[in-house]
Chain A
Amino acid sequence: MRVAAWPAVGFIVAAMLAACGGGIRPLVAGTDACEYCRMTVSDVRFGAEAVSRTGRVYTFDSIECAASWLASAPQGGAPRGVWVADYSTGALIPADSALFVKDGSLRSPMGRALAAFDGSIGRAALVERYGGDVIGWTDVVAFMRAQGLPGAAARQSAPAAHDTH
C-alpha cells in the first residue's frame, strides 16, 4: 500500500511544479500573505504581485511592501515584473505604466497612503479626486528605498489631539 502511493505523490508534486510556471494571478483576500510584511492580504485594491525569473509568484498586501521588497534586492535577483492593483477595479496592471497617488486621501495598508491607477484617469483628475501627488513607479521605489515603512522610531509620539478641528 505504502509502496503503491509513491508514484501518486510524485505525480502530485510534478503537477504542483507545473502549476507554478505561469504569470500573475488574481489576489485572494484572506488567503494570500504579503511576501514582505507577512500580513494577510485584506483589501486587494491596494495589493501587488511580482513574478521571479523562475516563475514564482510573490504577493503583497500593499504597494509600499512591493516597492520595499524590490528595493531590498530580493533573493533570486530582479523579478521578471511587478504588477500593482488598479485602485478603481482591483485588476493587476504593470507597475511601470501605473500612476500612483501618494499622500492623498486613500489610506493604504502600510501607512504611506499609496494607491495605483491605470492611465484611464488623468493626473489632474486624480489629484482633484484624491489629493496628494501623482508619481511614477521609479519614484515610488526610490521613496521606499530612502524612507522605508513609517519607522516606529521616527515617530516618537502621535500629534496632539484636536488637530482635525
Chain B
Amino acid sequence: MRVRQGLPCLAAAFLACFSTWCAEAQVVRVDPAGPVRSIRAALATARPRTTIIVGAGIYREGRLRIDKSVTLAGEPGAILDGEGQHTVLEIGGDSITVRGLVVRNTGMSQTEDRAGILASGARWCRIEQIRSERNLFGIYLANSADCVIDGNTVIGSGTSQTLQGNGIQVWQSERITVSSNVVTGHRDGIYFEFVTNATVAANESRGNERYGMHFMFSNDCRYERNVFRANGSGVAVMYSHRVAMIANTFERNWGSAAYGLLLKDISDSEIRDNRFLSNSTGLYLEDSNRNQVTGNEFTGNGWALKLLASAQDNRMAHNAFAGNTFDVSTNSRHSFSTFENNYWDRYRGYDLDRNGTGDVPFAPVRLFALIVEQSPASLMMLRSPLVDALDLVERVLPVLTPAEMVDRSPLMRPPVGGASR
C-alpha cells in the first residue's frame, strides 16, 4: 500500500538523482528486470540515508554486507537466498534498517554461526517484518546497542538435531528491544547472553527444540506479555539480577527437564501477573533470592511451584493455585521464603470472621511431594490409597513437611484481577 502510493515520488526522486547531485535522501530500486539488478551493486554506490527498495525476485548474491546508514526494504516476494552456504545478510554500522524481506537457507555448519541476518557492531539498527526460513540462526545480534527487532517471523527447520541454532540471539549487547516476533522450530526461540537493559515484549515462541526463551548473564532486562508454548524445556532465566517478568504465559511445556519458567541464580527480580498453565513444573526456583512472586496464576501443572532450600527470602503473595497435582514442592524441612494471601483450591479451612482470608493456615507441601523429591520413581504410586492415607496423617500431625512453609492468610476466593489483570 505504502509502496504503491510512493511510486510516483519514487520515480521522480530516482530521475532527479540520476542526473544531478542529491543532497537529500535517495531512493534506489533493485529489480531483476533492471536497470539495477543486484542488491550488491545498489549497496556499493549508495550514499548514507539512501533507501534501497528490493522488488520481488530471488536474489542469490553471496554474503551481503551493509556498513553504511541505509534502509533496505523488500517488496512482497523479495527473497534473499543463502544457497545453503553462508550468512545471508550482515549489518554493521549506525542507523541501518532492513525491512520486509525473506531471508532463507543459510545451510547448517558445525564451525560457524551462520544467520539469516547478522548484526555485529551495529547501533540504532532496526530489523522489521523479516521472514527468516531454514536458517541456522534466524536473527543474530552481537556487540550491538540501541537496536529494535520487531514484527519478524522466524521459522527454523524444526528437525531434531544438535546443530540447530537459535531463532533470535542477542549476545553482548545493550538496550535492545525484541517485540512482536513469532519464533518456532529453532533450538532456543529467543536467546540472550551478556545483554543489559533490554526489553522483550509481545513475542510468541512455540515449538522450539529446547527453550522458548533462554536468558543468561543478562541484568536489568524486562520481558512482558510474551507467550511461550510447547517448547521442549520451557523457559530458562539464569545468572541474572533485577529482571522483570510480567504478564507472560508459560503453557504446555512437558518433560522430565521441562519447566514453565526455570529460575537459576536470579535475584532481586519481579515475577508478576504471569500465567503458568499445564506444565510439568510451572515455576522452579534454585539459588534464587529476594524475588517477588505475585499475582500469578498456576493452573493444571504437575508441580505448580518447586522452591528449593537454596532459594531464600522470596515472597509469594496473591497467587492463585488450582488443579495442580502438587502445589508446592521443596527439598528441605525448612523454609526461607514466605507465603501470604495466596488462593489454594485445596484449602479446606473456614472464614468465620468473614475477612476474606481463612482462619487456619494452609500447608501447601504434601508429604508425598517430599517423597517424590527424594525418590522420583515413587511417583508411580501417586494414585495409591496408601499415599492418600499418608497425606491425611501428615496434615493432621505434621512431622516431616516443612512446618514453616505455610500460608497463614490463605484467600477464600481467587484474587480479583490477579493473573488476568
Contacts and interface: CB of A to CB of B under 8 A. Distances in A.
Interface of A: 9, 13, 16, 29-33, 37-40, 42-45, 107, 110-111, 149-153, 155-165
A13 B259 CA distance: 26
Given A39-B238, A42-B210, A165-B121, A152 B218 contact: yes
Residue from B121, B211, B256, B257 having most chain A Cβ neighbours under 10 A:
B257
A164 B143 contact: yes
B172 A158 contact: yes
Interface of B: 92, 113, 120-123, 142-146, 160, 162, 172-174, 187-188, 193-196, 209-211, 216-219, 232-233, 236, 238-241, 255-257, 259, 262, 264-265, 284, 286, 377, 380
A47 to B, nearest CB: 10
Nearest to A162: B121
Nearest to B125: A161
Contact of A40 (B113, B162, B210, B265): B210
Contacts of A43: 162
Contacts of B259: 38
Given A30-B232, A111-B194, A155-B217, A161 B210 contact: no
A153 B210 CA distance: 26
A162 B241 CA distance: 26
A153 B92 contact: no
A38 B286 contact: yes
The main secondary structure of chain B at its interface with chain A is strand
Given A37-B238, A39-B238, A160 B145 contact: yes
A158 B121 CA distance: 12
A90 B188 CA distance: 21
A158 B233 contact: no
B262 A38 contact: yes
A104 B237 CA distance: 26
Given A39-B238, A40-B232, A153-B219, 13 more contacts: A38-B262, A40-B210, A40-B211, A42-B209, A45-B162, A151-B217, A153-B241, A158-B143, A161-B144, A162-B123, A164-B143, A165-B92, A165-B121
B217 A152 contact: yes
B143 A163 contact: yes
B164 to A, nearest CB: 8
A111 B122 contact: no
Nearest to B113: A107
- 9 tightest CB-CB pairs across the interface, nearest first? A33-B257, A161-B145, A40-B233, A164-B121, A158-B174, A152-B240, A161-B123, A162-B121, A40-B257
A62 B61 CA distance: 38
B172 A16 contact: no
A164 B194 contact: no
5 contacts: A39-B238, A43-B162, A149-B239, A158-B174, A161-B123
A111 B216 contact: yes
B219 A152 contact: yes
A33 B255 CA distance: 11
A162 B143 contact: yes
Contacts of A13: 377
B92 A164 contact: yes
Contacts of A149: 217, 239, 265
A155 B239 contact: no
A67 B380 CA distance: 34
A40 B257 CA distance: 7
A30 B256 CA distance: 10
B377 A16 contact: yes
B194 A38 contact: no
A39 B211 CA distance: 9
B194 A151 contact: no
Contacts of B216: 110-111
A151 B211 CA distance: 21
A30 B160 contact: yes
B231 to A, nearest CB: 10
A6 to B, nearest CB: 10
B239 A150 contact: yes
A164 B120 contact: yes
A84 B194 CA distance: 25
A33 B265 CA distance: 17
B210 A151 contact: no
